[in-house]
Structure 1
């Protein structure tokens, strides 16, 4: 199988050279590498010019969905391997992706995992984010139901059948892609496809990114299932079954939101303090496996930090999901109210 590597990029001069060096170090090497620069204002294009890749340059920023679609449209390989420009692939990642696709002919998407250690260690926020992403992705090894495109291979014919990414989306676009994948194709996670990721390393940008993604996810993935059409011919990609719900995350999100809501009750009676304490305990229990993993790899001090940041993560996702679903419901109500009513004429 000929592999075309597609690298969407926006202002990643810090990591782009590492990313492309790792791609060209793969054995066997890819048939072609396509870098799609989404109107970067840094030295990204000069760095890409150091490599024998095809460079597609946008005049205006259009988002990662448009960048990936442009790269896929230019690609000539049977397999598209998407890797973000802030990830350096481990040796053998491309070969592992091809092996998986050959071993499972029904596999429509095979995605990798993040290394436990970041590409650059920039502090505790990034350490937590990388540890969580590694834990979550490695836990999903094998068959899964959610698509994440940071380091992912797709047969080109499958990508074309799905119709590419929704260019209206700048967050959660990869998850939304999976909702349109025909049911007959499976989604797999391989722990042989590994990349070191340079993740967000400051608290405010991390929470902001998390909030935006939750809002978009709620509107583009959760709410759209209310209007999901039924399957017809068998070729339509709209009949994808909903991906599995992570019960632990749901418990964590709900308990964190209720914790904040219940704090004012303490003013009525000190006995109400038992409620937020219980809710916090429920969140800890829901995340016990992740927290135990943090303890094993980072020690007790980091465990306390990770527990606090995990709770804050749940609260941010709770708020984002709530706003996203509420906005989708409001749009749905307005659309229903705007529909013209047909009055049957009487003879």
Structure 2
């Protein structure tokens, strides 16, 4: 059987919608209502509650969905895997519980899979306005997420699973999500997708997202995700492993993809320049105490940061005006600093854990995949 024999016909396809949830009583009702209002109705809806302590289970019980409840919190990877294991559909559609899908989201995802038989994953984008508007931090975050997801419409290299569809055989071939990861698990999933499959982002698969709305949690989220990404994706490329299909391979074990490691996704030069520019702007400030001429160092970093993010900042200006632009500059600068710190810590930890030549690294919790 060819690895591309998963062509989906939208008419008879059975779609299983899987909703991982943890303490999202604020948004879960809107999420489920939007799923049941789809123009192409799902065959089943599975809510996996990850030991919520709020009213989430009672809200899910208001809908004719299947509710799986974990007794202890296990993370989004385990929740998605459990939902997929229970699902009976031909296509799995994952949607986070803080997203309300547009009415045609399922139909558009199926149409995309049908139009592109080589496509293994179809992922949607966020709309420009949040599900519930809770202040400027969320407004910035939603606008930014819309901008960069829309920029990647078409064939892309990175998987995101906030609102994403894929045929069941593809999910099973990859082997599910790494349950040792609680951040960047969706990106790591894509690194194990066989190279024969395309990853597509569609701006016709839409959802309104209720995002983080306070500065502290926002920066913490970016720091944590960057730290995990550095270890699980970036540093993983440095460790020479067995070829696909051999014992110990992360992509060739039974039931997993065996087309070899996927090529690393392209480096976003703008993001790298923005990260480095922000770091130089801060790190260079103490130099000015030695000589006023050294003020050129942090200024150069600031110019690099602004130049790298000119497209995003221009979009913010066109959409929300000059006042919001100034706020967006500050938010983007702090975002880069948080991500730089997370990447630096993640890479440092990965280097310290890297096995020396001739030695075998011990297994650590989460090192095996579902």
Q: What TM-score does the superposition give when structure 1 sets the normalisation length?
A: 0.95
Paired residues of 1:229 and 1:238 also in contact (CA < 8 A): no
Give yes or no for the alignment of 1:257 onto 2:269. Answer: no
RMSD value, Cα: 1.4
The one of 267, 284, 298 aligned to 1:276: 298
Match of 1:31 in 2: 43
- 2: distance between equivalents of 1:227 and 1:321? 17
- 2: distance between equivalents of 1:336 and 1:202? 45
- 2: distance between equivalents of 1:111 and 1:11? 24
- 2: distance between equivalents of 1:2 and 1:247? 40
- 1: distance between equivalents of 2:360 and 2:165? 42
Match of 1:344 in 2: none
Mean CA deviation greater in 235-244 or 23-32: 235-244
- 2: distance between equivalents of 1:232 and 1:20? 40
- 2: distance between equivalents of 1:288 and 1:273? 22
Match of 2:203 in 1: 191
Residue 229 of structure 1 and its aligned partner are, at CA, apart by: 3.5
Unaligned runs of 5+ in 2: 1-12, 246-251, 362-370
Secondary structure in structure 1 of the residue aligned to 2:234: helix
- 2: distance between equivalents of 1:309 and 1:259? 15
Mean CA deviation greater in 238-247 or 6-15: 238-247
- 1: distance between equivalents of 2:97 and 2:360? 45
Residue 245 of structure 1 and its aligned partner are, at CA, apart by: 1.1
1:19-58 matches, cutoff 5 A:
19-58=31-70
Give yes or no for the alignment of 1:203 onto 2:225. Answer: no
Which of the two has greater helix per residue?
1
The one of 68, 72, 84 aligned to 2:80: 68
The one of 239, 242, 247 aligned to 2:261: 239
Paired residues of 1:179 and 1:238 also in contact (CA < 8 A): no
Residue 230 of structure 1 and its aligned partner are, at CA, apart by: 6.1
Aligned residues: 339
Give yes or no for the alignment of 1:319 onto 2:341. Answer: yes
- 2: distance between equivalents of 1:339 and 1:28? 51
Match of 2:320 in 1: 298
Secondary structure in structure 2 of the residue aligned to 1:109: strand
Match of 1:345 in 2: none
Match of 1:141 in 2: 153
Residue 281 of structure 1 and its aligned partner are, at CA, apart by: 0.9
Paired residues of 2:15 and 2:43 also in contact (CA < 8 A): yes
Secondary structure in structure 2 of the residue aligned to 1:239: coil
4+ residue segments displaced more than 6 Å:
none
Per-residue CA deviations over 1:60-91 (Å, capped at 9, x if unaligned) read: 00000000000000000010000000000001
- 2: distance between equivalents of 1:237 and 1:165? 18
Residue 227 of structure 1 and its aligned partner are, at CA, apart by: 2.0
Per-residue CA deviations over 1:233-276 (Å, capped at 9, x if unaligned) read: 69515421111111111001111112221111100001111211
Match of 2:172 in 1: 160
Paired residues of 1:229 and 1:239 also in contact (CA < 8 A): no
Residue 190 of structure 1 and its aligned partner are, at CA, apart by: 0.3
- 2: distance between equivalents of 1:144 and 1:339? 35
- 1: distance between equivalents of 2:261 and 2:353? 23
Secondary structure in structure 1 of the residue aligned to 2:354: helix
Give yes or no for the alignment of 1:332 onto 2:350. Answer: no
Mean CA deviation greater in 33-42 or 324-333: 324-333
The one of 288, 305, 310 aligned to 1:288: 310
Paired residues of 1:90 and 1:195 also in contact (CA < 8 A): yes
Residue 316 of structure 1 and its aligned partner are, at CA, apart by: 0.7
Unaligned runs of 5+ in 1: 341-347
Per-residue CA deviations over 1:12-40 (Å, capped at 9, x if unaligned) read: 00000000000000012000000000000
Residue 200 of structure 1 and its aligned partner are, at CA, apart by: 0.1
Per-residue CA deviations over 1:302-336 (Å, capped at 9, x if unaligned) read: 00000111011011101100110010001005x54
Paired residues of 2:244 and 2:260 also in contact (CA < 8 A): no
Q: What TM-score does the superposition give when structure 2 sets the normalisation length?
A: 0.89
